[in-house]
Amino acid sequence: VRPDYNVPIVRLDQAEHAFAAALAHGATLGEAAGKAAEFDRFNLAPALAKLITAGAFCSFAFSSSEPGDPCHV
């Protein structure tokens, strides 16, 4: 990521890299977490927080859901 044309370096471990790469290739959050979980000690919350803090996301979208579905917004 390059906020304000600065290039910060954010160290990712193997699991975090697998997670970020899967998201970059269009995987859902669950799919990306599944890929990262193949590595030891993956923790979703800190990995997601690290990417958000680094400014790695430009948008997000909820999958379509039906009224009554707990994920419906």
Condensed to tens digits (0 to 9), the pLDDT of residues 20-58 reads: 999 999 898 999 999 999 998 999 999 999 999 888 888
pTM: 0.76
User: What is the CB-side half-sphere exposure of residue 56 using CA atoms within 13 A?
Assistant: 21
Could you tell me the two tokens for 37? 């979980």
pLDDT of residue 54: 87
pLDDT of residue 60: 74
CB atoms within 10 A of CB 10: 13
Specify the amino acid at residue 54. Answer: A
pLDDT band at 73; cut points 50, 70, 90? very low
Q: In this model, does residue 14 exceed pLDDT 60? A: yes
Could you tell me the two tokens for 30? 């669950």
CA 54 to chain centre: 11
